[in-house]
A and B are shown apart, each in its own frame.
Chain A
């Protein structure tokens, strides 16, 4: 798991990545972002919970936030959330492809 996260963290343009459970507890992380990890994982879980509650969709959804300082990619599966912060100039298609592969591998491992 650590290796997979470090793999994502090493992609050019990726600032940090977090594997968190649906309650917002960090399972694994990688990267050099100076973000408060505990706060970030809690906020990410809260965002996915809001979507689940409001739309009645439990899992298998993604959120991409494109912002001035960073982009945030969130992939929500049944048992985990994978969140990746990137430089805003990163190639969105490339990171989405990498995330899909990683989500598949994590799902198999879990």
Chain B
């Protein structure tokens, strides 16, 4: 058992949820959130971890994140009563949400070609999301399977990437090709150009060497499609 609990050895949804409940009961809310995010990653069609995670966010007063999680749950189960009730409690018009998820494509703000590039990336096993931001961290587009807030996530990762980029002269690294972040909850790969940050969120156990070429290809296609440097 490591300091984050039993997570690495456990796959059962019920066990993950029971553990998350236990964490919450014992005040280990952040650990519970990590566990539920893992449960969502590994059981994408199950709504229970979504509802539990949204309840934690509601308890913490983070209605925006709770709503994002519930919106993703609604895509899986549009008629689920509990999700509707939770959304109601957040004063969100659930009819509008259902209509959006049924009729509209995710609002990426990208053309169809670029949307296709990102969608194809998400078909690769282990890739959980792609964010494209400009050189000041403003979101250009996103495709996500995770309940994360895309604008702030993109801005945060971009600012860390920039910190490394601006330090490269002091460290005599030369031009940066790629930055790989290995974090407790998953990995992040950032491919950067002069005016673009191509951020890929992956599962912890992904084999980077197997996706490297796919990522590079998608990155260069994105640059071409957006017509940027």
Q: Which residues of A contact B (CB under 8 A)?
A: 35-36, 39-40, 43-44, 46-47, 50-51, 54-55, 57, 60-70, 72, 85, 92-93
B172 is an interface residue with CB less than 8 A from chain A: yes
Q: Does A67 lie within 8 Å of B168, measured CB to CB?
A: yes
Q: Does B181 lie within 8 Å of A40, measured CB to CB?
A: no
What are 14 A-B pairs with beta-carbon distances under 8 A?
A35-B172, A36-B170, A43-B167, A47-B163, A51-B160, A51-B181, A61-B183, A63-B164, A63-B181, A66-B177, A66-B178, A67-B176, A68-B174, A70-B174
Q: Which residues of B contact A (CB under 8 A)?
A: 156, 159-160, 163-164, 167-168, 170-184, 208-209
| Distance, CA A40 to CA B169, complexed state (A) | 10
Q: Does B183 lie within 8 Å of A47, measured CB to CB?
A: no
Q: Does A70 lie within 8 Å of B173, measured CB to CB?
A: yes
Q: Given A35-B171, A39-B170, A40-B171 in contact, is the A65-B179 Cβ separation under 8 Å? A: yes
Taking the nearest CB of chain A, how far is it from the CB of B137, in angstroms? 11
Q: Does B184 lie within 8 Å of A63, measured CB to CB?
A: no
Q: Does B173 lie within 8 Å of A67, measured CB to CB?
A: yes
Q: Does B184 lie within 8 Å of A64, measured CB to CB?
A: no
Q: B180 — which chain A residues lie within 8 A by C-beta?
A: 62-66
Q: Does B163 lie within 8 Å of A46, measured CB to CB?
A: yes
Q: Which residue of B lies closest to A75 (CB)?
A: B182
Taking the nearest CB of chain A, how far is it from the CB of B28, in angstroms? 15
Q: Does B163 lie within 8 Å of A61, measured CB to CB?
A: no
Q: Does A46 lie within 8 Å of B167, measured CB to CB?
A: yes
Taking the nearest CB of chain B, how far is it from the CB of A92, in angstroms? 8
Q: Given A46-B163, A67-B177 in contact, is the A60-B184 Cβ separation under 8 Å? A: yes
Q: Does B177 lie within 8 Å of A54, measured CB to CB?
A: no
| Distance, CA A36 to CA B170, complexed state (A) | 8
Q: Given A61-B181, A63-B180, A64-B179 in contact, is the A50-B173 Cβ separation under 8 Å? A: no
Q: Does A66 lie within 8 Å of B170, measured CB to CB?
A: no
Q: Which residue of A lies closest to B178 (CB)?
A: A66
Q: Does B179 lie within 8 Å of A63, measured CB to CB?
A: yes
